[in-house]
């Protein structure tokens, strides 16, 4: 596992094109060339049931190779083992990573590499730096053991019971309400009678719009969650024992 096939092996089974070029892109950390090869040979990869596998497994190998090249080219001396997030960010963009990449994404990529063993070191968030190990900071892929996340259901359930806010009584009553009651039909006459009792009658829509405008309600603003906050929540959950990386 973790060893790229030789050219002789690819030629023997007539897989030189496109796998030879794919192999070269992975070794160089050339994200742009990798995406071009995947797009140009989409029908071949889908017909061999390998497209999704390559799309899922290769990005982290590309990140590792790319950052390894950045480290070799940017270090000032043999003792230098520190890379700034800025250097990593610029290198990933130059290699063809998406244009909407930001510092949070770069930090998350470094976290993924370190947590899975592709990169040996630690992050210094305040200084925006990654400090690499003195010994073999980029271990061979064949020596990296796969990890998977195993969730501790008991701890998660206990956390939900003790740390989550209680459900309001009116909401809980709706949850516990029998389904037969929810399926009860309401006739048009009943709706009109209820509207008249509430003083609405046939002018319900007009009255509702006026009440809405008088209150000055505004549409809520929706947006994506902050990547750094999401990462922090994940780190807190791991510290509390919700999940752990195991061999």
Q: Name the more confident of 164 and 41.
A: 41
Count Cβ atoms below 10 Å from residue 171 Cβ, excluding itself. 10
Cβ atoms 244, 149 nearer than 8 A: yes
Q: What percent of the chain has pLDDT over 70?
A: 67
Report the run of H or E that residue 129 belongs to, with start and end.
Answer: strand 129-132
90-94, 188-192, 221-225, 236-240: range with highest mean pLDDT: 90-94
Residues near 29 by beta carbon (within 8 Å), at least 6 away in sequence: 62, 63, 64, 65, 66, 67, 68, 69, 95
41-55, 149-163, 231-245: range with highest mean pLDDT: 41-55
Q: What is the pLDDT of residue 142?
A: 82
228 pLDDT exceeds 90?
Answer: no
Calculate the alpha carbon distances from 94 to 32, 65, 141, 156 in Å: 9, 13, 23, 41
Maximum distance among all Cα pairs of the chain, rounded to whole angstroms: 85
72-129 pLDDT, tens digit each = 988 888 888 999 999 999 999 888 877 788 888 999 999 999 988 999 999 998 899 9
């Amino acid at each position: 596992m973790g060893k790229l096939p030789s050219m002789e092996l690819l030629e023997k089974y007539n897989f030189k094109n496109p796998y030879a070029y794919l192999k070269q892109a992975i070794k160089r950390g050339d994200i742009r060339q990798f995406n071009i090869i995947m797009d140009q040979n989409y029908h071949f990869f889908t017909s061999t049931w390998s497209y999704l596998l390559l799309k899922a497994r290769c990005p982290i190998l590309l990140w590792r190779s790319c950052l390894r090249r950045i480290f070799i080219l940017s270090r000032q001396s043999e003792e230098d083992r520190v890379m700034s997030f800025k250097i990593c960010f610029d290198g990933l963009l130059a290699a063809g990573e998406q244009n909407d990449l930001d510092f949070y994404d770069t930090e998350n990529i470094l976290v993924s590499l370190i947590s899975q063993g592709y990169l040996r070191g630690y992050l210094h968030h305040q200084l925006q730096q990654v400090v690499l190990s003195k010994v073999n900071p980029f271990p061979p892929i064949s020596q990296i053991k796969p990890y998977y996340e195993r969730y501790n259901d008991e701890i998660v359930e206990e956390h939900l019971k003790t740390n989550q806010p209680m459900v309001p009584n009116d909401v809980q009553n709706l949850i516990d309400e029998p389904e037969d009651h929810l399926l009860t039909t309401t006739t048009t006459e009943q709706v009109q009678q209820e509207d008249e009792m509430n003083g609405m009658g046939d002018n319900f829509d007009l009255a509702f719009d006026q009440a809405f405008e008088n209150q000055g309600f505004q549409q809520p603003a929706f947006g994506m969650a902050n990547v750094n906050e999401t990462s922090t929540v994940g780190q807190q959950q791991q510290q509390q024992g919700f999940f752990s990386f195991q061999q």
